């Protein structure tokens, strides 16, 4: 009987440790950069059809300092070096048509747009890359001409 109580006590302690660890680390919590990517996509729902956006910051429902757009095939290491730190879930783009856009606030990633425009419903064209990335700041008025295609994707063409 005492052995059975000891086993139950050990199982109970292990269960509390596991539940506590899951509560603290919360592996099911969605990261802020994914939440903000969804919020950014949704912020354009108020616009019907094609439009000119005179300042992208008016549509970003989060604060940011710097926007980076990385050229296709930019290695993770180069992105980490450019951003200034490593963060989870970064993926190298594997095609010319993919977005790889990172918004940063105070040195931390606050929004990450990655993938084909057809999948994420946003597509960006910042022009020609000189090197592996384009860097823009929130203090600039980032002007875009937007077009919505029949597949529901809103494309943004940056006007310098």
Domain coordinates in residue numbering, the chain: 1-30, 31-159
Above 90 in pLDDT, residue 143? Answer: yes
Are 135 and 127 in contact, with CB atoms under 8 Å apart?
Answer: no
- The share of the chain scoring above pLDDT 90, in percent, equals 51
Provide the sign of the torsion angle of the four alpha carbons 30, 34, 38, 44, taken in this order.
positive
The whole-number average pLDDT for the span 72-98 is 86
Helix (H) or strand (E) holding 10: helix 2-25
Above 90 in pLDDT, residue 29? Answer: no
Residue 137's pLDDT is 94
Above 70 in pLDDT, residue 154? Answer: yes
């Amino acid at each position: 009987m005492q052995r059975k109580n000891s086993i139950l006590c050990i199982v109970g302690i292990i269960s509390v440790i596991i539940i506590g660890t899951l509560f603290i680390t919360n592996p099911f919590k969605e990261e802020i950069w994914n939440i903000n990517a969804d919020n950014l996509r949704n912020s354009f729902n108020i616009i019907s059809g094609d439009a000119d956006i005179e300042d992208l910051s008016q549509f970003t429902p989060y604060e940011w300092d710097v926007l980076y757009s990385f050229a296709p095939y930019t290695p993770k290491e180069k992105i980490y070096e450019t951003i200034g730190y490593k963060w989870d879930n970064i993926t190298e783009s594997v095609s010319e048509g993919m977005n790889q856009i990172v918004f940063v606030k105070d040195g931390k990633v606050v929004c990450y747009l990655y993938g084909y425009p057809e999948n994420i419903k946003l597509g960006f064209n910042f022009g020609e890359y000189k090197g592996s990335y384009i860097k823009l700041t929130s203090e600039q008025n980032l002007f875009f001409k937007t077009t919505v295609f029949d597949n529901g994707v809103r494309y943004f063409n940056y006007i310098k």
